[in-house]
């Protein structure tokens, strides 16, 4: 069998060779910037020369601190192609976490979007290994107060347009991404060339996203979030046009891009799609979204009511994908099997609200606290374990590896059940599940039911201490605009009656203006648990 390393440069070369005229479109002030894969390839060669001139060698970490733009895409292509490691830094992290991960990764060069420079200026004196700060802006000069600062476009203009890329080992590191730090310090995950290549092929499969050359793909998910879910590579592999939302996109900008560029596939976290639907219904503004054949939602559970609303209101299929940073990141998607075509719409929605069945190339197990395998009967709940060619085997230079990667399996920390057809249903994160009187209550199930209320925009359910039952659920609810002050706890609880056992029902409902989010748009339950740790529900008598 011929030895043929599966590396990211092969994806880049394929896009240049077979789809040179396809475009990467970036939203910029006043319009869009457009470049073809041929032009992107040439700028990638220039950037390779720039990085080499700054002393970057194979294995060195090059960090990005940037929005979804064509310059960020150039780094996605150039850094791994020279044998270096692309470290996509989360722009929404707190200063302490930013300094920690850049020092922990030992980043050598940092590429920064111009409007994000102040965040780096504030911590520059704490960055121990960064030797060069490169500001990505249109103008060839900069005014940043940073040591060894350079203009990206100034360096690019002086760099030769030719570069001889080295041969690479497919098992060499290509990317580095840190978890979003819901507990403790962020943990680094290395992505290999082989893992990224195989993950890209999987995303293009018919039973996953079915990406093709005819698609126009818009990743609303940030390029710093879990490798942008792999779409910069998978879309390039098949020659699809790519649309990048640019700096600080809002819901109106997303709708305008879908309409203008005839986007066919869009990807983002549930809060994006909840917000888009609410914006369209509340504002009354009309956009032509008929080009969309698929919206992929991931990062946290998608309530059935949202899936049904996209079907009914927008006529767009919303599919739930499941994954995590440690999985490059995709594990499954909630597509229906052919034998399910005869089911009722309600039955189909119930299945689509699960996390789907495992994609080809991966294996999974469902185990109890003792590590014993549990049956796939849709009832038994246990921790989900994963392994496969794009699943991490360790954290980067982190002692927490031992508690998560054991006996050749990645222990996700997700509590799930799996039905007879292999569909995964995440019940909760191990740290979020509510244990009341020795029995489990799923915050995910309660949230999905609450969000189905027509006057509710967002809902998060957390545990609060109880003197007798150890923990009890508290529902944190954001009413839709126009419903604030009108919606009562009694209405929410009445909405839940009959859907769950009475002991599942929240002890109380609190109304908030906004649910705190993590840096990647998930509900930040640790903030809520801290805020309400001493909360005593109305009517509860202690003791």
Catalytic residues: 179, 326, 435, 440
Q: What would the two tokens of residue 90 be?
A: 């989360």
Residues forming a β-bridge with 266 = 218, 295
Cβ atoms of 135 and 149 closer than 8 Å = yes
Cβ atoms of 229 and 323 closer than 8 Å = yes
Element (H, E) at 418: strand 409-418
CA separation for the pair 108, 129 (Å, rounded): 6
- What is the Cα 90 distance to its own chain's centre? 11
CA separation for the pair 347, 278 (Å, rounded): 25
Contacts with 216 (C-beta within 8 Å, 6 or more apart), sequence order = 240, 241, 242, 243, 261, 262, 263, 264, 265, 291
DSSP per-residue string spanning 403-417: HHEETTEEEEEEEEE
DSSP per-residue string spanning 337-350: PGGGTTS-HHHHHH
Contacts with 185 (C-beta within 8 Å, 6 or more apart), sequence order = 97, 100
Cβ atoms of 359 and 149 closer than 8 Å = no
Element (H, E) at 332: strand 330-333
CA separation for the pair 12, 236 (Å, rounded): 7
Contacts with 60 (C-beta within 8 Å, 6 or more apart), sequence order = 84, 85, 108, 109
Q: Could you count the other beta carbons within 10 Å of the beta carbon of residue 173?
A: 20
């Amino acid at each position: 069998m011929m030895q043929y390393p599966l590396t990211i440069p092969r994806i880049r070369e394929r896009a240049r060779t077979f789809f040179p005229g396809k475009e990467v479109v970036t939203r910029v002030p006043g319009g869009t910037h457009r470049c073809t894969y041929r032009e992107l390839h040439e700028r990638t060669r220039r950037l390779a020369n720039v990085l080499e001139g700054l002393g970057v060698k194979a294995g060195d970490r090059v960090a990005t601190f940037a929005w979804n733009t064509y310059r960020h895409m150039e780094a996605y292509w150039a850094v791994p192609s020279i044998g270096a490691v692309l470290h996509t830094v989360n722009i929404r992290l707190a200063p302490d976490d930013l300094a920690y991960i850049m020092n922990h990764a030992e980043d050598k060069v940092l590429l920064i979007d111009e409007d994000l420079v102040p965040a780096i200026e504030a911590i520059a004196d704490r960055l121990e290994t960064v030797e060069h700060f490169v500001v990505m802006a249109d103008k060839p000069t900069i005014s940043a107060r940073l040591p060894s600062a350079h203009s990206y476009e100034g360096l690019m203009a002086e760099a030769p347009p030719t570069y001889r890329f080295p041969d690479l080992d497919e098992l060499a590191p290509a990317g580095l991404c840190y978890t979003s730090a819901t507990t403790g310090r962020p943990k680094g995950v290395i992505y290999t060339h082989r893992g990224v290549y195989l993950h890209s092929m999987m995303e293009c499969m018919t039973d996953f996203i079915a990406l093709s050359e005819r698609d126009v793909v818009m990743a609303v998910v940030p390029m710093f979030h879990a490798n942008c879910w792999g779409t910069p590579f998978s879309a390039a592999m098949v020659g699809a046009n790519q649309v990048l939302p640019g700096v600080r996109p809002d819901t109106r900008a997303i709708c305008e891009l879908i309409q203008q560029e005839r986007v066919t596939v869009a990807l983002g976290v549930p809060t994006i799609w909840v917000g888009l639907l609410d914006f369209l219904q509340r504002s009354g503004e009309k956009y032509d979204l008929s080009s969309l054949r698929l919206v992929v939602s991931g990062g946290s559970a998608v309530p059935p009511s949202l899936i049904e609303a996209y079907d009914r209101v927008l006529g767009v299929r919303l599919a739930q994908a499941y994954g995590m940073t440690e999985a490059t990141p995709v594990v499954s998607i909630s597509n229906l099997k052919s034998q399910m075509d005869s089911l009722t719409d309600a039955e189909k929605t119930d299945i689509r609200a699960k996390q789907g069945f495992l994609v080809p190339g991966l294996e999974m197990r469902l185990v109890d606290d003792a590590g014993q395998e549990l049956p796939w009967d849709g009832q038994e709940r246990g921790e989900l374990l994963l392994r496969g060619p794009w699943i991490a085997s360790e954290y980067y230079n982190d002692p927490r590896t031992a508690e998560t990667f054991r006996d050749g399996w990645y222990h996700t920390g997700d509590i799930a059940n799996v039905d007879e057809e292999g569909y995964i249903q995440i019940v909760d994160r191990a740290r979020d599940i509510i244990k009341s009187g020795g029995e489990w209550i799923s915050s995910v199930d309660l949230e999905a039911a609450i969000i189905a209320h027509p006057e509710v925009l967002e809902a998060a359910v957390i545990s609060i201490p109880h003197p007798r039952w150890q923990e009890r659920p508290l529902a944190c609810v954001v009413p839709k605009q126009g419903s604030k002050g009108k919606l009562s706890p009694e209405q929410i609880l009445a909405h839940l009656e009959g859907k769950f056992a009475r002991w599942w029902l929240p002890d109380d409902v609190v109304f908030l203006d906004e649910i705190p989010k993590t840096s990647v748009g998930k509900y930040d339950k640790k903030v809520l648990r801290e805020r309400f740790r001493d909360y005593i529900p109305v009517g509860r008598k202690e003791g």
